[in-house]
Amino acid sequence: MLWKSLHEIQKQGYTGSYDTVARYTRRIRHSQGLKPRQRYSKQVLPKVAEPEKLRLTPRRAAWLVLRKQESLEPNDEQLIALLIAQHPDLAQAIELAQGFAQMVRTLTPLQLDEWLTQADSSNLSAFGRNALRLREDYDAVKAGLTMSVSNGPVEGQPYRLKMLKRQMYGRAKIDLLERRFLLAT
């Protein structure tokens, strides 16, 4: 109906758009107290629904493989089994990754030598390179798997101080900066 009206006023010299005419007629209907026109769409749109399963992205697959066994849901275990069944190299990568994660979580350095041999003998070059780098720093890796103490808090101090320095840059002299550092600890 509006199209007919638009064509009629265009014959009389109107050069505006359909949207302008539609907005104007809506305002007229509203000012007269009439209900807005029902809009009928020729195209039927599908219903929007949440997918039943999340897409398996590389990041999600890595997360599934490295999660603790007790925190896995049955669907997650099925996905891992499906990944293992896909390809022998993928099965070997999953086995090596889970073995290393378990070794780090439980702090069992006795398994390190066995894991390094498995990684070296695998036909996966990424794990071979990783094993080579771990062998280069073998004593530190062994100590990391033996001791429950971490140097994380010590490493965080310089970054915290740098952050405070950046926050105070150009705002105060050295005495105020020094007080802020001392009070922040």
Local structure of 31: helix, strand or coil: helix
Q: Are 117 and 96 in contact (CB under 8 A)?
A: no
pLDDT value of residue 98: 93
- Domain parsing of the chain, residue ranges: 2-31, 58-146, 154-184
As a whole number, the mean pLDDT across the chain is 85
Q: Are 101 and 66 in contact (CB under 8 A)?
A: yes
Sign of CA dihedral 76, 126, 85, 87: positive
Sign of CA dihedral 18, 22, 28, 31: negative
Q: How far apart are the first and last CA of the chain?
A: 74
What is the tens place of the pLDDT at every residue in 18-35?
A: 888 888 888 888 888 888
Question: Of 134 and 43, which is predicted with more confidence?
Answer: 134
What is the tens place of the pLDDT at every residue in 149-163?
A: 777 777 777 888 788
Query: 177 is written with which tokens?
Result: 């900066």
pTM to 2 decimal places: 0.56
- Cα 59-136-62 angle, rounded to 5 deg: 10
Q: What share of the chain is helix, strand, coil (3-state, %, to 5)?
A: 70, 0, 30
**Residues 6+ positions from 29 with CB-CB distance below 8 Å:** 35, 36, 37
State how far the Cα of 82 lies from the Cα of 91, in Å rounded to an integer. 10
What is the tens place of the pLDDT at every residue in 39-91?
A: 666 777 777 777 677 788 889 889 999 999 888 888 888 888 888 898 888 99
